[in-house]
Amino acid sequence: MTAARLITVGHVTHDRYGDDIVAGGCAFYAARTQAALGADVHLITAVGANFACDDALAGLTVDVTRGGLTTLFTNLYPAGALRVQRIEATAPPIAPPPRLPDAALVHLAPVLQEVDLAAWVAAAGDRPVAIAVQGWIKDRGPGETVVQTPWQVDGALLARVAFAACGEEDLVDQGDLLDRLCRHVPIVAFTHGKRGCDVIVRGRTTKVGIYPHAVEVDPTGAGDTFAAGFFLGLAEGRDPVAAAKLGAAAASVVVEGRGGATLGRVGEAHARVAQIA
C-alpha cells in the first residue's frame, strides 16, 4: 500500500524537564507518530533562532521558519488535578506558504494559537483538514501560566473541517464547544484519558477503549499522539472506530517513556490495535 501523504502544521517546542530541554508540541508528536506508523509526513513549523532539538526532526520532511525564540513549555501534573502548563517563550505564528504540496490530509496541530484556522483552511483548498482543538483554546496568562479562553469559532468555518479531536480538559470553560464541533464536523473524537474515547460520526457515538497493558511513565503527548494516529487512519480510509483504535494504540506507546522518548517505537501500535475493545 502506498504511504499516505500528510501535511502537519504547528510549533515544534522546547519542553523543559528539570535541566533538560527536549522537543515537544502537538505537531512534533503528530509528525513523529504518523511517520512511525508509515505515513509520508511533511511538517511545517516555526522555531526560534535558539532551537536546540534539530536532531529530533531527523528523517522528516520539514519546512521550518526560524526567528525570535522557540516556544518553551513546562508541564506539571498535580495529583488528582488537571495538567498545569507554564510558558516561558513563544515563537512567531505560522503562515501558509503560497502553495501546499499534494496531500491526503492537512493536520493542523497548534499549541498556542499560532495557526490561523481560516487562513489554513483556505490554503488547503480541496485537501481535507483535520484539527487538534487544544491549540486554539489556550493563551498566555499571568505569571507564565497557560490559560484557557473560550474559542468562538464560526460554525461556517468549522463546516470546512473534515475531522476533529479534543479531550476532556480542552472543554473546561468552553460552553457548548463539543456540541458545535459535532454539529459541523462530520467525524469527532472526544478523549477521556484512561477511560477511552467517544467517536462521534454525524451525531452517532461509539465508545472505544484503550490498550490495557501500557505502563504509563509520562502522559505528555498522549492526546497529540492519539489524534495523529486517528487522523492518519482516517486518511488511509479506515472506518472511524478502526482509526480511533490506531490512535489509542499509538498513545499507549508514547506514555511509556518521558516526553517523546518512545516515539520511535510507535510502530508497535499496529500490533496493539487488536487488543483494544
pLDDT in tens, 20-44: 999 999 999 999 999 999 999 999 9
First to last CA, the chain: 26
The strands making up 40-47's β-sheet, listed across from edge to edge, are 61-66, 40-47, 5-9, 105-108, 129-132, 163-167, 187-191, 197-201, 204-208
With contact defined as beta carbons under 8 Å apart, do 185 and 165 qualify? no
CA angle 88, 115, 239 (to 5 degrees): 115
User: CA-to-CA distance for 8 and 62, rounded, in angstroms?
Assistant: 10
Determine the longest span between alpha carbons in the chain, in angstroms. 50
- pLDDT the model gives residue 74: 85
Average pLDDT, the chain: 94
Instruction: Count structural domains, the chain.
Output: 1
- State yes or no: pLDDT of 193 exceeds 90: yes
- State yes or no: pLDDT of 78 exceeds 80: no
133 half-sphere exposure, CB direction, 13 A CA radius: 29
- State yes or no: pLDDT of 51 exceeds 80: yes
Rounded to the nearest 10°, the torsion over CA 118, 124, 128, 134 is -40
- pLDDT the model gives residue 81: 67
Confidence of residue 82 (pLDDT cuts 50, 70, 90): low
With contact defined as beta carbons under 8 Å apart, do 105 and 116 qualify? no
Instruction: Specify the amino acid at residue 201.
Output: V
- pLDDT the model gives residue 248: 98
Q: Which residues pair with 74 in a beta bridge?
A: 16, 86
Q: Mean pLDDT over residues 221-237, rounded?
A: 97
Cβ neighbours for 170, distance < 8 A, ≥ 6 positions apart: 133, 134, 137, 148, 177
What is the CATH classification number for the domain harbouring 38? Answer: 3.40.1190.20
* Domain that includes residue 25, residue range: 5-275
- 91 three-class SS: coil
